[in-house]
Amino acid sequence: MGITVSKNQWMNVAMVAFAMCFIVFSSNYFDEYSVRILNNIAIFIILAVSYNLINGVTGQFSLEPNGFVAIGAYVTALLLVSPEAKQYQYAIVDPYPFVMTLHANFVVALLLSGIFAALLALALAAPVFRVRGDYLAIVTLGFGFIIKILAINNPEITNGSLGLNDIPEFSNLYWTGGIAIIAVIVILNIVNSKFGRAMKAVRDDEDAATAMGVNTFKAKTLAFCTSAFFEGVGGGLLAALLTSISPDLFDFFFTFQLLIIIVLGGLGSTTGAIIGTVLVIGGSEWMRFLDEPMHLFGYTTTAMPGMRMVVFSLILIFIMLFAREGIMGKRELKDFFTSRKKGEK
Amino acid sequence: MDVTIFMQQMVNGFSLGSMYALIAIGYTMVYGVLRLINFAHGDIMMVGGFLGYFGIAILELPFGAAVILAIVGSALLGMASDRIAYRPLRSAPKISLLITAIGVSFFLENAFNVFFGGVPRAFPVPAYLEVVVDFMGLTMPVSAILVPIITACLLAMILWVLYKTKYGMAIRALAFDVGTVNLMGIDANRIITLVFGMGSALAAVGGIFWAVNYPSVEPMMGVLVGLKAFAAAVVGGIGSVGGAVLGGLIIGFTEVVVIAFLPELGGYKDAFAFIFLILILLFKPTGILGIDFEKSRF
C-alpha cells in the first residue's frame, strides 16, 4: 500500500511538471492559432472536470454550466473593463453609478466570479435537491435561460444584448493552463476524499447511501457548489480571453458541448473529461470543413452552417446507445498503472 | 380597470394556456410511464408546425389535410424516437436516457436548421381562421376561440382513452409498476409506443396552433415552449393529465396577465414558468394535483 501511494504521488508530480513544461513550451513556440485553441482547451478542461463532478461523479444530471459560466464572465468583465471603456460602451441606457466604480485585479475578479457562481448554486440547491432525480435537469436548464434573460433585460449593468467589449486580454496559457491544473488537482482531491466517496455513493444508490448515514443533501450540494465555483472561474477566464462577451454566447449550446465532452470521455472520470475536451474542442476545429461548401465528385454542395452540430448530436446519441461508458468509463489514469483490477466502481 | 380589457386578456391567457397544456400532456404521459423528461418533446411540436407548413405551402393541401399530415407525421416521429433512441436504454441508468433525449432534441433542432434554414418562415394561415369576431365588446380572431375548444375536446378524448379503454388501463398500470405490467402479459413496449404516439400527436396540434398564432415556423420555436410546458406539467403535478392542463393554464394566464398589467416586466415573461417551477419544488414538490412518484416508486 505504502509503495503504491508514493508511486502515485510521483506520477502526479511528474504529470503536473509535464503539463507545466508543455504550457511554457507551447506559449513560447506555438503559433497564435494553436495557442488560441490550447487556451480554449484549457478553459474547457476546467469546465469539463467541474461539470463531471456533479454529473458524472455525483450522478445528478444538471444542465447549468452556461448559466454559471455567464455569471463568471460578466462578473469578471465588469471588474476588469476600465471606467473609460465603460463610459462609451453603454449605448442603450446609462449604467448604474456603482457599475462605473467596480474595479479589481485579475485574480480578485476570477475569485469573485467563482464565489458568485457558487453562492447562486447554493441558493438553487435548496429547492432542487429537495426532490430526487431529474428535476435538477429542467431547473438548471431553466436557470440558464433566466440568466440570459436577466443579462438582456438589465442593460444598466450588463449593457443588454450588446454585451461588454474591450475586456483586457489577461488570459494567456499561463493563466488558463495553470488554473486548469489547479482545478484538476482540487477536484481529484475532492473525489478521493470522504466527500468524494459520499458523492459516488449517492450516484450508485441513494437509498443505500442514506441508510449508511451519508448526508446525501450535503454531498450533492457540495458537488454542485464546487462545480459552480470552477465554472464561474472558467467563465471569467473565457471573458478575459475573448475580450468581448454578449448574452448569446451563453446559450444552451455551450452546455451541450460540455455534456458531449464528459459523455465521450466517460461519465465519472476526470481523466476522461480531459481526454474528451481535447477530442471535442480539437475535433470541432477539425470538423469546420463540414460547415463549408464541399466538393465531392465534381459537385459542390452549398455551405451548411450548423452541420457540425448535427454530427455532434448524432455522436452523442451513438455513444449513449452503443458505448455508454465512453472512453474511460469511470476509471482514472492511475487505475491503469496501480492495479490490475478493473478500476474502482 | 376596464372590464373589457380584462376579459380580453383572459381570453388571450386561456388561448396561450391551452397551447401549453396540449404540450404539457405529452410530457406528463411520457414521464408517467418512463420517468423520462423527454427533452425532444418541444422539438416534436416544432416538427408538427413545420409539417403543417410543408403541407400547405409545398404540397398545397387544404388546411385540414395539412393538420392531419402534421399529426400523423409527428406521431410517427415520436414513436420512432422511442424505438430508436429510448427503447435500447430501458434498463440503463436514467441519466443515459436523459442524455439521449437531449441528443435527439439537439439533432432535430439542428437538422431542421441546416436543411430548412434558421430564418422564420411565414405560416400560411387560412383566411377563415383570421376572421375577427366581435363578441360582447371583445374582439378576437376565430383561432383564439378555437384553440381552447379543440384543447378541451382533445383533453376529453385523452381522458376517455385513459379511463375507459383497455389501452388506457394498461397505460395507467404502466405508470404504477412496469415490472408487474410485464408479468400480466401486457407488452409494455407497445404501450409506451402508444404513449409516445399520443403525446406527439397532441404536440403536433400544439405546434399548428403556435404556427397559426404567431404566423411563422422556425427550428428553435420548440425549445422555450417545450421547457415552459414541462414546467407547467410539474406545477400541475407530473403524471397527472388534469394537472398538466391546469399547469399550462396557470402559466399561460400568468404570462399574459403580467405583461398586460405590468408591461415593464415584459422582458421577463419567459422566466415566469421557471420561477413557478422553483416555487412549486420548494413548497409542494408533487405539484398541485400530483401523485407522489417518489414514494410510490421507492
Q: Is A342 part of a structural domain of the chain?
A: no
Report the relative pairing of strands A299-300 and A295-296 from DSSP bridges.
antiparallel
**Rounded Cα–Cα distance for residues B15 and A105 (Å):** 52
Q: Is A135 part of a structural domain of the chain?
A: yes
Check residue A339 and give its pLDDT. 56
**Rounded Cα–Cα distance for residues B4 and B138 (Å):** 7
- CA torsion, points B180, B185, B189, B194, in degrees to nearest 10? -100
| Residue A149 and residue B268 in contact, taking contact as beta carbons nearer than 8 Å | yes
Dihedral pair phi/psi, residue A13, rounded to 5°? -60, -45
**Rounded Cα–Cα distance for residues B222 and B42 (Å):** 4
Check residue B50 and give its pLDDT. 95
Residue listed under C-alpha cell 504550457: A23
**Rounded Cα–Cα distance for residues B244 and B234 (Å):** 7
Contacts of B85 in chain A (CB under 8 A): 317, 320-321
Range of the domain at A195: 35-252
Write A293-298 long-range contacts (CB < 8 A, 24+): none
Q: Tell me the average confidence (pLDDT) per consecutive run of 10 residues in chain B, 298 residues long.
A: 78 90 92 88 95 92 93 96 92 86 93 88 85 78 86 92 91 84 88 94 94 89 90 88 91 88 81 84 80 46
Q: Where are the beta strands (DSSP E) in chain B?
A: 121-122, 132-135, 138-141, 216-217
Q: Is B13 part of a structural domain of the chain?
A: no
Which ipTM value was assigned to this complex?
Answer: 0.86
How many CA atoms lie less than 13 Å away from B106 in the CB half-sphere? 27
Contacts of B281 in chain A (CB under 8 A): 127-128, 130-131, 135, 139
**Rounded Cα–Cα distance for residues B35 and A205 (Å):** 17
Whether A133 sits inside 8 A of B35 (CB atoms) is yes
Q: Is A77 part of a structural domain of the chain?
A: yes
Q: Is A208 part of a structural domain of the chain?
A: yes
Check residue A342 and give its pLDDT. 47
Could you count the other beta carbons within 10 Å of the beta carbon of residue A125? Answer: 21
Q: Is B157 part of a structural domain of the chain?
A: yes
pLDDT in tens, chain A (345 residues): 445 556 777 778 888 888 888 888 888 888 888 888 899 999 999 999 999 999 989 988 888 899 999 999 999 999 998 887 777 777 777 777 777 778 888 999 999 999 999 999 999 888 888 776 677 888 888 888 888 888 888 888 888 888 888 888 888 888 999 999 999 999 999 999 999 999 999 998 888 998 888 898 999 999 999 999 999 999 999 999 998 899 988 888 889 889 989 998 888 888 899 999 999 888 888 877 777 776 666 666 666 777 888 888 998 899 888 888 888 887 887 777 665 444 444
- CA torsion, points A29, A35, A39, A42, in degrees to nearest 10? -50
Q: Is A226 part of a structural domain of the chain?
A: yes
Q: Is B73 part of a structural domain of the chain?
A: yes
Q: Whose CA is closest to B240, among B24, B17, B13, B19? A: B24
Q: From the centroid of its chain, how far is CA B249?
A: 12
Element (H, E) at A108: helix A106-128
Interface size between A and B, measured as CB pairs under 8 A = 122
Q: Is B222 part of a structural domain of the chain?
A: yes
Contacts of A141 in chain B (CB under 8 A): 227
**Rounded Cα–Cα distance for residues B121 and B52 (Å):** 12
**In the structure grid, which three cell numbers stand for residue B180, read together?**
408487474
Q: Is A257 part of a structural domain of the chain?
A: no
**Rounded Cα–Cα distance for residues A124 and A136 (Å):** 9
Whether B268 sits inside 8 A of A139 (CB atoms) is no
Q: Is B9 part of a structural domain of the chain?
A: no
How many CA atoms lie less than 13 Å away from B199 in the CB half-sphere? 40
- CB neighbour burial string for B152-177, b if at least 16 within 10 angstroms, e if fewer: eebbeebeebbeeeebbebbebbbee
CATH code for the domain of B93: 1.10.3470
| Residue A303 and residue A290 in contact, taking contact as beta carbons nearer than 8 Å | no
Contacts of B99 in chain A (CB under 8 A): 61, 259, 263, 316, 320
Q: Is B82 part of a structural domain of the chain?
A: yes
Could you count the other beta carbons within 10 Å of the beta carbon of residue A336? Answer: 12
**Rounded Cα–Cα distance for residues A288 and A306 (Å):** 10
Whether B94 sits inside 8 A of A133 (CB atoms) is yes
| Residue B47 and residue B75 in contact, taking contact as beta carbons nearer than 8 Å | no
Contacts of A220 in chain B (CB under 8 A): none
Element (H, E) at A296: strand A295-296
Question: At A135, which amino acid appears?
Answer: Y
Question: At A44, which amino acid appears?
Answer: F
| Residue A120 and residue A68 in contact, taking contact as beta carbons nearer than 8 Å | yes
Q: Is B96 part of a structural domain of the chain?
A: yes
Q: Is A15 part of a structural domain of the chain?
A: no
Q: How many domains does chain A have?
A: 1
| Residue A233 and residue A44 in contact, taking contact as beta carbons nearer than 8 Å | no
Whether B267 sits inside 8 A of A146 (CB atoms) is no
Q: Whole-prediction pTM value?
A: 0.87
Check residue A298 and give its pLDDT. 61
Q: From the centroid of its chain, how far is CA A84?
A: 31
Question: At B269, which amino acid appears?
Answer: K
Q: How many domains does chain B have?
A: 1
Whether A55 sits inside 8 A of B95 (CB atoms) is yes
Whether B88 sits inside 8 A of A309 (CB atoms) is no
Range of the domain at B144: 20-119+128-297
Q: Is B212 part of a structural domain of the chain?
A: yes
